């Protein structure tokens, strides 16, 4: 995957997180359902690609993707408890699928390695969004509170920091690309920590 494509994907994710911060409870529920559908479709597509490889690592990831499909296909979460339960189960399955993707990266040919790298990145992004959903639902009753406003400010600052790192990426040479990937990984960890 080329540098420009990676940077564009990260920018899009940062913008989606920024927009998600401002959702009301109805929009939040709708966005969660959209997220489930995105996970369902993506995992179905990737499972088909994994059929080409009979290795244990590919089979394990395929099994995890099937479990994700089942969870993502559940009906709409109408209550706070149902929402939190579905979010937790999806998050747990994303963690397991991410571990399987990392294992596949170490044991694969180029085509499956690229799939595993994309899966690793995608799972990480979904987990961050799910953490933000949880945070928003938990603090939703206190929307006007100082605690929520302070948390929102911290989240915005984390996103701004990530975006500034992405802006710097355009000026990086190919030699410093690996260092940039480490910097962006560190910035992403700060964003995830803020959302957790």
Q: What is the pTM of this model?
A: 0.66
pLDDT at 70: 92
Most confident option among 14-23, 34-43, 169-178, 184-193: 34-43
Mean pLDDT across the stretch 122-145? 69
pLDDT at 89: 92
Tokens (6 digits) for 15: 């913008």
Residue with tokens 């939703």: 140
CA end-to-end span of the chain: 29
Is a pLDDT exceeding 60 seen at residue 65?
Answer: yes
Residue with tokens 């355009």: 170
pLDDT (tens digit, 9 = 90+) per residue, 93-108? Answer: 988 988 888 888 876 6
Q: Are the CB atoms for 74 and 34 separated by under 8 Å?
A: no
Could you tell me the pLDDT band of residue 156, with boundaries at 50, 70 and 90?
confident
Please give the full DSSP string across the chain, using - where no structure is assigned: --HHHHHHHHHHHHHHHHHHTT--HHHHHHHHHHHHHHHHHHHHHHHHHHTT--SHHHHHHHHHHHHHHHHHTSPP--SHHHHHHHHHHHHHHHHHHHHHHHHHHHT--HHHHHHHHHHHHHHHHHHHHHHHHHHHHHHGGGTTSHHHHHHHHHHHHHHHHHHHHHHHHTT--GGGHHHHHHHHHHHHHHHHHHH-
Tell me what percent of the residues of the chain surpass a pLDDT of 70: 65
Could you tell me the pLDDT band of residue 61, with boundaries at 50, 70 and 90?
confident
Mean pLDDT across the stretch 181-193? 63
Per the prediction, the chain carries an average pLDDT of: 75
pLDDT at 26: 72
């Amino acid at each position: 995957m080329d540098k420009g494509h990676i940077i564009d994907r990260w920018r899009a994710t940062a913008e989606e997180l920024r927009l998600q911060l401002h959702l009301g409870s109805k929009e939040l529920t709708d966005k969660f359902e959209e997220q489930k559908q995105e996970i369902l479709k993506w995992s179905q597509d990737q499972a088909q690609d994994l059929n080409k490889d009979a290795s244990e690592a590919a089979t394990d990831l395929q099994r995890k993707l099937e479990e994700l499909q089942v969870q993502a296909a559940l009906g709409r979460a109408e209550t706070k408890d149902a929402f939190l339960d579905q979010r937790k189960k999806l998050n747990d399955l994303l963690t397991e699928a991410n571990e399987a993707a990392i294992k596949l990266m170490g044991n694969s040919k180029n085509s499956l390695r690229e799939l595993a790298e994309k899966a690793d990145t995608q799972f990480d992004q979904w987990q961050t969004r799910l953490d933000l959903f949880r945070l928003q639902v938990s603090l939703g009753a206190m929307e006007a509170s100082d605690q929520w406003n302070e948390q929102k400010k911290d989240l915005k600052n984390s996103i701004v920091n990530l975006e500034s790192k992405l802006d710097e990426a355009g000026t990086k040479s190919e030699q410093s690309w690996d260092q940039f990937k480490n910097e962006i990984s560190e910035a992403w960890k700060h964003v995830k920590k803020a959302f957790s």
